[in-house]
Structure 1
Amino acid sequence: MLPTPGRPVPKPTLQMSTEQKTKPVSSEKVRSDSAASVRGKSRIVAVSLLLVITLVSGSVHAYLDGRFVDQELAGRRAEAITALPTSFGDWTMISEEQLDGAASELLRPHGSIVRNYRNSESGATVKFAMILGPRGPVAVHTPEICYRSTGNAPSGARRATEIKTEQHTHQAWTLEFKDKQSGEASLHVLYAWSDGGAFAAAEQPRFWMVENLYKIQLASPSLGDGTNHGLQFLTDFMPLLEKCIL
């Protein structure tokens, strides 16, 4: 079409489409931004999860160590331990000791006794210890650990032994030790735990769902006659222990 005479000829204009005006975003940048966003969210999730794990593990550890304790009840039970008889049957206490300082710091007992008894008939002596304390430390402190530092070593695997009374059937671990240097039999040792019921030769008492544990441990010298005098003592003493804790 020809321009009309007398009218100015319009200047041609260059128009660009929206697609032409907008610079396309590269796929690499989109992926980069998306990855950065994912990494940021992942960090938040990781930090939150770590915080939760820390809080939960701390609470579980405190519970297993028996830090949430009824102090009044623990005190009454500790008094019952100290009231155990010093003489019964053929057995008489000949001396009493305090729990070793290092052991006391480790076990944090609410109550404990360490006594030496002698049998008037056989002349045999037995060291008897009983403690009430937080489940965690009381459960993991065993003779296999403490007697190694006294020049003794287990001469075989421990085995469970039953002690029966009129009311209950108890169990205790029995273990023989030998002198590290001479290799000769040196000690008969028994130990067991209770949560307030029958004593047990337990594998993992730390995971019992109770605040505190009782533990008994006996050691008697090996006299070479094959007799476990500690087992004799515990058989005679167990009915009295039942009155203390059951």
Structure 2
Amino acid sequence: MKSLPVWTLAILASLITLGSGWLHGHITQRWGQSDAMMQAALRLDSLPAQVGPWVFDASYELSDEAVAMLSCQGYIYRGYRNEVTGDSIKLAVMVGPGAKMSVHVPEVCYESNNYTLLEDREIFNVEVNGQTHHFWSVHFRVNEVSQRELRVLYGWTNGGHWQAPRVARWYVAGEPVLYKLQVSHALTGLVHVDEQASQEATRLFMQMVIPLIQAKLESGASE
């Protein structure tokens, strides 16, 4: 079998390099925001101010560093307060390319911001209308005199059910448009923390807010 001429090999090498470069640019949005990404970002704007007994309490902004690190193309970041129990929850829903959105997790972000991880993450399932949504649950304590504790849930979706893959970059990093949901609930009490009550409050909130989010994502998919 004859070997290929040197110039032919050079052309093939160039094509392979250009092809892989285009693929990486498409995944990371290096070439700019696509129409699909723009539409995905716009869908997040119209979530309601009230979710059952939970009412809008505050609006927050992600830091410029976080937006750049996630290549975040759109997000909502809100506080909700339960009018009955007084519990407070923060909800963030972000959208961006899977290559960036999948690899940055709370275990890294919180520990670099004066929190200590108290236990390994575990799966937190939420049943909604016969469908199971999967999230990771992590438990932190702030490194201050108050020693306030915080439970954080997070997961991803490309528009279907929420999932919590063990190694997200292997399963969802290739998605051109990926949503990430993150919920944090401050655990009350300095000594005795009713963790079960906190989990139940968070689960009830998730059961109410997930259908609202899914309705926005599904309406966009049908356009």
Gapped regions of structure 2 (runs ≥ 5): 219-223
Q: Residue 157 of structure 1 aligns to a residue in which SS?
A: strand
Counterparts of 1:49 and 1:73 in 2: how far apart (Å)? 32
Q: Is the Cα–Cα contact under 8 Å of residues 28 and 71 in structure 2 kept in the other structure?
A: no
Give the CA deviation at 1:121: 1.1
Counterparts of 2:129 and 2:85 in 1: how far apart (Å)? 25
Give the CA deviation at 1:220: 1.0
Q: 2:155 matched to 1:192?
A: yes
> Which residues in structure 2 correspond to 1:4-153 (within 5 Å)?
54-67=17-30, 71-153=34-116
Q: 2:180 matched to 1:215?
A: yes
Counterparts of 1:52 and 1:71 in 2: how far apart (Å)? 24
Percent identity among equivalent residues?
A: 27
> What is the aligned partner in structure 2 of residue 10 from structure 1?
none
Q: Is the Cα–Cα contact under 8 Å of residues 99 and 175 in structure 2 kept in the other structure?
A: no
Superposed structure 1 runs of 4+ greater than 6 Å apart: 43-50
Q: Is the Cα–Cα contact under 8 Å of residues 187 and 221 in structure 1 kept in the other structure?
A: yes
Q: Call closer, same or farther: CA 1:170–1:66 in 2, change over 3 Å.
A: farther
Give the CA deviation at 1:124: 0.7
Q: Which has the larger radius of gyration?
A: 1
Deviations 1:150-181 (A, max 9, x none): 21122111111211111522111111112346
Q: Call closer, same or farther: CA 1:154–1:52 in 2, change over 3 Å.
A: farther
Q: Is the Cα–Cα contact under 8 Å of residues 188 and 230 in structure 1 kept in the other structure?
A: no
Q: 2:128 matched to 1:165?
A: yes
Q: Is the Cα–Cα contact under 8 Å of residues 98 and 177 in structure 2 kept in the other structure?
A: yes
Q: Residue 150 of structure 1 aligns to a residue in which SS?
A: coil
Gapped regions of structure 1 (runs ≥ 5): 1-40
Q: CA RMSD in A?
A: 2.8
Counterparts of 1:146 and 1:231 in 2: how far apart (Å)? 23
Counterpart residue identity of residue 186, structure 2: P
Query: Greater relative contact order: 1 or 2 (C-alpha under 8 angstroms, separation 6 or more)?
Result: 2
Give the number of the structure whose residues are more often strand, by fraction: 2
Counterparts of 2:33 and 2:130 in 1: how far apart (Å)? 28
Counterparts of 1:97 and 1:183 in 2: how far apart (Å)? 23
Normalising by structure 1, what TM-score? Answer: 0.73
When the two structures are aligned, how many residues end up with a matched partner? 206
